[in-house]
């Protein structure tokens, strides 16, 4: 067993012994299917703490010679797959954590020197019957393969650390890409190359050094979507096992859209299950300064988009111009695309939009804007608890006045004269409700769709809210619509008090325009 060559299965054993382990072993079936094919190069990029290293340890344990891992995998899903026995412990695995190697070597050249020296020593120790020509490092790999017939599987974790640690050093980055291409591309000794990182592969125009890789990203994970994070069924099982609210878990840690598959943040779910406390666990692993730097950049329209994201809007974003690094930005779209890859936003592949995924990340955004640049939005958020209280008291005039104030002060951000804009204003004005309510937009109800529906947690004694929004209509029209189209029926499993809330405004400035109105009616809904 070596440090880099066939390092054993101890790391994966540790994952299996943990209090919570979610079986993602069917990833192996996918990697087995591409061994020794044109698709044998796989690059997986996703946010930190989304299970990349556990996958690396699993693949190392499964493929590495000398591991004897049959028993380790016997209770996992992959054990039932037809390809399981064929590839189990049949390869020389070279596993590299590039961040650790870069720390030892200080530079890319130093890192390469350390890796080649250490792996060469381990090859000599492992392959005692091989006569090595010792021309260069590649000759070691070629000799081992041609004389034993055993190909190599390269498993590289944090492959993109060079681009994150040496963000401005283009020469060093280019040298690194050249080296990986020389090491892996068109080499007969490679049966599979599996790389993980946060960023997609960096390309320098004609210098598309690693164009042989299939890129599995958070914007397009292809058939690997279910391995990006915890799925709904996996989290539901954990919630039942640990007696933790599934609805609250959704609000805090769900919301990542992976080709239409809802995905949860794995680290945060595990921490919440073990502690029974909902908190910002994922964001605690990195200072909020990282997010703050990006959202306060001066690109045209970025600040307005951040405000709209916090208000709950889905923002169109063009991800194609992003250069796959953390420094090369041409516009606000590039910044938002980086935030998608970092996990601060989620991306809808079909609609080409992004949004803040959940309460955990939304709180991080709020922390970032408190210090500078967003005073009116912060004031709206701070006032939202009082607006909610006034709604419960059915103080229609004061509710209308406060919504009007939020709308007026944020009208430069939110397109003023349409119901979509008004919806985002109301979401911002009722921001505090997100602490104890689940929000549903355009919820199917009765004979139509309710604009906004706030459903309280079971533990709360506050009423549900069904809100209808209009401009250039009377609030009586809105309440009539709620009643006539039976919008309260959207609350199928809810029993208790419901506030029917109509909010409208008159955009005609000749009539004292932008005047907001509110009408509230309380009903009781039986299950």
Higher confidence at residue 193 or residue 505? Answer: 193
The number of C-alpha atoms within 13 Å of 86 and in the hemisphere containing its C-beta is 10
pLDDT of residue 418: 57
Average pLDDT, integer, range 163-186: 91
What does the pLDDT look like over 230-255, one tens digit per residue? 999 999 999 999 999 998 898 899 98
pTM tops 0.75, yes or no: yes
Lowest mean pLDDT among 254-268, 273-287, 412-426: 412-426
> Measured between alpha carbons, how far is 131 from 121 in angstroms, rounded to an integer?
13
Mean per-residue pLDDT over the chain, rounded:
87
> What is the crossing angle of helices 332-342 and 302-311, to 10°?
40
Taking Cα atoms as reference points, which of 332, 308, 328, 309 lies closest to residue 319? Answer: 332
Residue identified by tokens 């909010």 is 503
Q: Say if residues 317 and 337 touch (Cβ distance below 8 Å).
A: yes
pLDDT at position 509 is 47
């Amino acid at each position: 067993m070596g440090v880099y060559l066939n390092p054993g299965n101890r790391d994966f054993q540790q994952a299996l012994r943990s209090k919570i382990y979610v079986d993602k072993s069917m990833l192996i079936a996918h990697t087995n299917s591409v061994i020794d094919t044109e698709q044998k190069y796989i690059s997986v990029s996703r946010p930190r703490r989304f299970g990349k290293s556990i996958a690396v340890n699993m693949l190392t344990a499964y493929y590495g010679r000398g591991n004897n891992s049959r028993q380790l995998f016997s209770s996992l899903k992959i054990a039932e797959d037809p390809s399981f026995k064929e590839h189990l412990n049949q390869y020389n695995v070279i596993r590299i954590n590039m961040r650790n190697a870069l720390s030892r070597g200080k530079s890319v050249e130093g890192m390469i020197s350390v890796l080649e020296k250490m792996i060469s020593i381990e090859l000599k120790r492992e392959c005692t019957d091989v006569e090595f020509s010792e021309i260069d490092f590649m000759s070691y790999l070629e000799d081992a393969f041609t004389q034993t017939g055993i190909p190599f599987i390269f498993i590289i974790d944090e492959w993109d650390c060079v681009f994150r640690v040496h963000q401005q050093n283009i020469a060093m980055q280019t040298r690194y890409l050249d080296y990986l291409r020389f090491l892996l591309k068109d080499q007969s000794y490679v049966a599979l190359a599996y790389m993980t990182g946060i960023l997609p592969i960096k390309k320098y125009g004609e210098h598309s050094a690693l164009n042989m890789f299939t890129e599995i990203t958070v914007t397009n994970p292809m058939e690997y979507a279910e391995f990006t994070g915890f799925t709904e069924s996996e989290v539901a099982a954990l919630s039942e096992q640990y007696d933790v609210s599934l609805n609250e878990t959704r609000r805090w840690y769900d919301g990542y859209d992976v080709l239409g598959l809802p995905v949860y943040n794995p680290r945060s779910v595990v921490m919440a299950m073990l502690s029974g406390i909902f908190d910002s666990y994922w964001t605690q692993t990195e200072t909020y300064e990282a997010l703050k730097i990006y959202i306060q950049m001066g690109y045209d329209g970025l600040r307005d988009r951040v405000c709209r994201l916090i208000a709950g809007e889905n923002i169109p974003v063009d991800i194609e111009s992003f250069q796959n690094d953390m420094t090369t930005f041409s516009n606000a779209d590039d910044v938002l695309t980086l935030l998608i890859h970092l996990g601060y936003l989620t991306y809808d592949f079909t609609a080409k939009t992004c949004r803040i995924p959940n309460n955990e990340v939304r709180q991080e955004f709020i922390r970032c804007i408190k210090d500078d640049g967003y005073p009116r939005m912060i004031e709206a958020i701070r006032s939202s608890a009082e607006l909610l209280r006034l709604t419960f008291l059915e103080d229609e005039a004061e509710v209308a006045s406060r919504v009007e104030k939020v709308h007026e002060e944020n009208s430069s951000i939110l397109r003023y004269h349409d119901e979509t804009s008004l919806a985002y204003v109301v979401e911002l004005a009722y921001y505090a409700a997100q602490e104890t309510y689940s929000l549903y937009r355009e919820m199917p109800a009765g004979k139509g769709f309710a604009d906004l529906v706030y459903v309280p947690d079971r533990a709360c004694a506050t009423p549900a809210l069904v809100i209808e929004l209009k401009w250039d209509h009377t609030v009586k029209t809105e309440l009539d619509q709620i009643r006539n189209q039976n919008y309260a029926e959207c609350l199928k499993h809810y029993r208790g008090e419901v506030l029917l809330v109509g909010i409208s405004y008159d955009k005609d400035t000749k009539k004292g325009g932008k005047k907001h109105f509110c009408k509230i009616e309380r009903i009781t809904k039986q299950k």
